[in-house]
């Protein structure tokens, strides 16, 4: 019985170490895939603040705060009403209310 417990503990330790090694390999793979180590992407974004105007250079393309504001307004106009978002909010509110009433009824 003692030998069986020792073997089980050894197998569990080996599996734990294997999982940790796998997680580290996956993390390294994700960093390589995203290009964190690529010197071409390390200086891809630079931001310059002058007065109240915000200028940014992204991959060699100049972007000003005026362009960002115009795009933000356009996005707000496009997504003024999102059917799925409103249905999700209603469903969430309904479920929250129902679960609150159920918990209140159980605790009484």
Q: What is the pTM of this model?
A: 0.34
Which sign, positive or negative, has the C-alpha torsion 6, 10, 11, 12? positive
pLDDT at 77: 74
Contacts of 3 (CB under 8 A, 6+ apart): none
Q: Are strands 53-58 and 61-64 parallel, antiparallel or unpaired?
A: antiparallel
Distances (CA, A) of 97 to 71, 85, 86, 90, 94: 37, 18, 17, 11, 5
pLDDT single digits (tens) 31-50: 778 766 666 555 544 445 44
Q: Which residue has the higher pLDDT, 54 or 93?
A: 93
Secondary structure of residue 51 in the 3-state scheme? coil
C-beta of residue 53 within 8 angstroms of C-beta of residue 43: no
């Amino acid at each position: 019985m003692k030998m069986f417990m020792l073997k089980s503990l050894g197998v569990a330790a080996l599996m734990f170490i294997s999982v940790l090694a796998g997680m580290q390999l996956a993390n390294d793979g994700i960093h390589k895939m995203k290009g964190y180590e690529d010197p071409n992407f390390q200086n891809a974004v630079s931001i310059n603040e002058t007065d109240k105007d915000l200028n940014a250079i992204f991959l060699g393309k100049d972007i000003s705060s005026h362009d960002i504001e115009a795009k933000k307004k356009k996005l707000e106009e496009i997504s003024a009403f999102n059917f799925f978002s409103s249905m999700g909010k209603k469903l969430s509110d309904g479920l929250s209310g129902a679960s609150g009433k159920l918990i209140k009824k159980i605790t009484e």
